[in-house]
Amino acid sequence: MSATAEAMAPRAAAFTPVGPTVIDCQLQKVFYGDFLAVRNSNVPIEKGKITGFIGPSGCGKSTVLRSLNRMNDLIPIFRFEGHVKYHGQDVYGKNVDPVVVRRYIGMVFQQPNPFSMSIYDNVAFGLRLNRYKGNLEERVQKALERAALWKEVKDKLNKSGLSLSGGQQQRLCIARAIATEPDVLLMDEPCSALDPIATRQVEQLMLELKESYTVALVTHNMQQATRVADTTAFFGVDISQGGRTGYLVEMDETRRIFEDPQEDLTKQYVSGEFS
Amino acid sequence: MALNPFEHADSASSVSGPPSGSDYLADSVFRIIALSCAALIILLILFILWEIGGLALPAMAQHGLSFVSGTTWNVGTQEFGVLPEIWGTLYSSFLALILGGTFGVAIAIFLTQDFIHARLAAVFRTIVELLAAIPSVVYGLWGIYVVIPMLRPVAEWLHSELGFIPIFGTELSGPGMAPAALVLAIMILPTVAAITVDAFRRIPYKVKEAAYGMGTTRWEAILKVMLPTASSGILAALVLGFGRALGETMALAMLIGNSNQINLSLFAPANTLASLLASSFPEAGQIEVQALMYAAVVLLLITLVVNVVGLGIQQYTVRKFEGKA
């Protein structure tokens, strides 16, 4: 892209959160091979808050989320320009092992993906991985309670995690992710495979989680963002360069994004003109 | 022809209608063909059991269970016992399973867990599967002319240095358990590797993602997540490999030494049921043939038990790890 084209590209007014930021994410360009997937997305993640990522399909919101804990490293053709800093430290620094990053920044995925082992072992997985010396059972129970799953599984902790229903599996995955109490929890459309009741429970959990942790949430559901997110980042798709390139249109307090958006595109999106 | 209660549903342009009589006929014909093919297989197995059992009946009546516990095979005195062959069959197959199983699973991990480029992995996999295309007798010849000479110095050293351990207790005189088990391991390797590769391939990408998302290193992801996830498939691979090893005949008849003895030593000659059958039949008289038929029944039973037990263990892991009823 030439300098002029870059200058002409729409660029969001930078959003600076009031409180301290945990992750300072500035992605100028994200590529998969030659394909420019995301550009100009500066998404600060504020401590102790829920940051929601919304936008139409293919807008790169998942890509941005996955850059935060280096999950994109699993895709060999992924590369990016910019930086992601976690507590001021470069996540992509030369001597930084992505494994370490992912132990501090946990993740819950779109599809429930419990391991084919017992419910107990699923939740204890991260604790054992980190060689946790304390009371394992207590931690497992606490994580399951917080994930609103304890009552349903307390009598069958030895049963396979895959024997649960879809909604229960997703809550199991959340329990697995929060058992180690990671500093930041990334959630990539965690409710898209859930029924309304399970969705409600997971949203309740997110609100509880932000008491002690930071949450970044990708959601396809605008109502979910209004219900739980403190700050919302709206991503759009730019098709002017030939491909479908996602970029940050606007980021602000959730209330402002939905009630008083500054960009026309945001206005159209939140009023349901396209999705 | 089925009754069509909707004949008069009045949508003028509708092309909907019931399947024709020939559609229904084709349905039934196809069902009957499929059913008879399935039934034929079951009947064939029963027929084989019936025939062999019938031929073995005189020997069964005469020797009873002492056939299974006896250790001599002497046509002259009409003493027939196959305990050494049962031992040899299980021991050689077990050794082959340990070797071939370990290598097979390791190769499958290497081919599926992003150690090499996918295209190179496909080439590699084809080469491993080619091992299955080599005829048994060629393996036997290779064993005689390559494996045994290569093993000789190793076996000599192990026997002289570690001879106090029972498994190195004798000298390698030529054919024996070690070369037989080695070649057998290579023969079951492609089966184990190919089925294990499929078991790993079936693991959805999201499981790998979940493992890395928890902050596992590559080896932690493979050992703690991928292996348990693939465990039922790997067990199936091992059961099939073991089954193949139990029944393998030609290469073993050439390599194991055909000696009627029970010995823990890897370097001692031994015998298996299959190779006993193969090597004794050509010159057997009527009485011996009956005894050999009895031995065949024993081999069939062992194979059957191994497969049923293996299947049971596999079902158990499916229930335990995958939560399926």
Partner A contacted by B211 (CB < 8 A): yes
Apex CA B215: angle with CA A80 and CA A216, to 5°?
A: 60
Q: How confident is the model at residue B325 (pLDDT cuts 50, 70, 90)?
A: low
State whether the Cα torsion B2-B5-B7-B13 is positive or negative. negative
Which of A14-28, A121-135, B116-130, B311-325 is predicted with the least confidence, judged by mean pLDDT? Answer: B311-325
Taking 60 as the threshold, does the pLDDT of residue A254 lie above it? yes
Residue B220: list chain A partners with CB under 8 A: 129
Q: Which residue has the tokens 């823990």?
A: B264
Instruction: Pick from B207, B214, B317 the residue to mutate for testing the A interface (most A CBs within 10 Å).
Output: B214
Q: How far apart are CA A220 and CA A194, in angstroms?
A: 13
Taking 50 as the threshold, does the pLDDT of residue A258 lie above it? yes
Taking 70 as the threshold, does the pLDDT of residue A12 lie above it? no
Phi and psi at A153, nearest 5°, equal -115, 0
Strand partners, B301: none
The complex scores an ipTM of: 0.88
Per the CATH hierarchy, to which homologous superfamily does domain B66-322 belong?
Answer: MetI-like (1.10.3720.10)
Q: Do A102 and B224 touch (CB under 8 A)?
A: no
Region A191-206: mean pLDDT is: 86
Q: Which residue has the tokens 């196809």?
A: B30
Partner A contacted by B214 (CB < 8 A): yes
* Mean pLDDT, chain B, integer: 90
Q: Which of B160, B227, B241, B161 is nearest to B195 (CA)?
A: B241
Q: How confident is the model at residue A198 (pLDDT cuts 50, 70, 90)?
A: confident
Give the CA distances from residue A150 to residues A166, A168, A205, in Å, rounded to whole numbers and listed in that order: 16, 10, 13
Radius of gyration, alpha carbons of chain A: 19
Domain borders along chain A are 3-111+182-270
Considering only alpha carbons, which residue of chain B is nearest residue A119? Answer: B321
Q: How far apart are CA B98 and CA B192, in angstroms?
A: 11
Contact A262, A250 (CB under 8 A): yes
- pLDDT value of position B32: 97
Who has greater pLDDT, B1 or B39? B39
Q: How far apart are CA B165 and CA A255, in angstroms?
A: 78
Q: Do A173 and B210 touch (CB under 8 A)?
A: yes
Residue A78: list chain B partners with CB under 8 A: none
pLDDT tens-digit series, residues A44-68: 999 999 999 999 888 889 999 999 9
Residues 6+ apart with CB under 8 A from B304: none
Partner B contacted by A100 (CB < 8 A): yes
Taking 80 as the threshold, does the pLDDT of residue B310 lie above it? yes
Size of chain A, expressed as the number of residues it contains = 275
Who has greater pLDDT, A25 or B14? A25
Partner B contacted by A216 (CB < 8 A): no
Who has greater pLDDT, A272 or A127? A127
Q: How far apart are CA A53 and CA A108, in angstroms?
A: 15
Q: Please, which residues 109-148 of chain A have a Cβ atom closer than 8 Å to chain B?
A: 109, 111, 113-118, 125-126, 129-130
Taking 50 as the threshold, does the pLDDT of residue A2 lie above it? no
- pLDDT value of position A1: 40
Region B216-230: mean pLDDT is: 93
pLDDT tens-digit series, residues B89-107: 999 999 999 999 999 999 9
Local structure of residue B221 (DSSP, 8 states): I
- pLDDT value of position A148: 84
Residues 6+ apart with CB under 8 A from B170: B159, B263, B265, B267, B268
Look up residue A105 and give its amino acid.
I
Q: Do B228 and A176 touch (CB under 8 A)?
A: no
Taking 60 as the threshold, does the pLDDT of residue A208 lie above it? yes
Q: How far apart are CA B99 and CA B89, in angstroms?
A: 16
Taking 70 as the threshold, does the pLDDT of residue B324 lie above it? no
Give the CA distances from residue B201 to residues A197, B54, B112, B159, B322, in Å, rounded to whole numbers and listed in that order: 34, 45, 7, 43, 16
Percent of chain B scored above 70 by pLDDT? Answer: 98
Considering only alpha carbons, which residue of chain A is nearest residue B224? Answer: A125
- Least CB–CB distance from A107: residue in B213, B224, B321: B213
Look up residue A85 and give its amino acid.
K
Taking 60 as the threshold, does the pLDDT of residue B1 lie above it? no
Residue B234: list chain A partners with CB under 8 A: none
Query: What burial letters (b/e) apply to B133-151, b meaning 16+ CB within 10 Å?
Result: eeeeeebbebbbeebbeeb
Contact A81, A28 (CB under 8 A): yes
Strand partners, A38: A30, A246
Who has greater pLDDT, B35 or B163? B35
Give the CA distances from residue B294 to residues A241, B61, B180, B227, in Å, rounded to whole numbers and listed in that order: 79, 10, 24, 41
Per the CATH hierarchy, to which homologous superfamily does domain A3-111+182-270 belong?
Answer: P-loop containing nucleotide triphosphate hydrolases (3.40.50.300)
Distance from CA of A44 to the nearest CA of B (A): 21
Q: Please, which residues 45-74 of chain A have a Cβ atom closer than 8 Å to chain B?
A: 69, 71, 74
Q: How confident is the model at residue A8 (pLDDT cuts 50, 70, 90)?
A: very low
Taking 70 as the threshold, does the pLDDT of residue A3 lie above it? no
Radius of gyration, alpha carbons of chain B: 26
Query: What burial letters (b/e) apply to B17-54, b meaning 16+ CB within 10 Å?
Result: eeeeeeeeeeeeeeeeeeeeeeeeeeeeeeeeeeebee
- pLDDT value of position A4: 41
Q: How far apart are CA A56 and CA A240, in angstroms?
A: 16
Q: How far apart are CA A171 and CA B119, in angstroms?
A: 38
- pLDDT value of position B237: 94
Q: How far apart are CA B13 and CA B25, in angstroms?
A: 28
pLDDT tens-digit series, residues A72-124: 998 989 999 999 999 989 999 889 999 999 999 999 999 999 999 999 999 99
State whether the Cα torsion A156-A158-A159-A161 is positive or negative. positive
Give CA B157 to chain center in angstroms: 32
Partner B contacted by A193 (CB < 8 A): no
Strand partners, A106: A185
Local structure of residue B224 (DSSP, 8 states): I
Return the SS3 of A213. coil
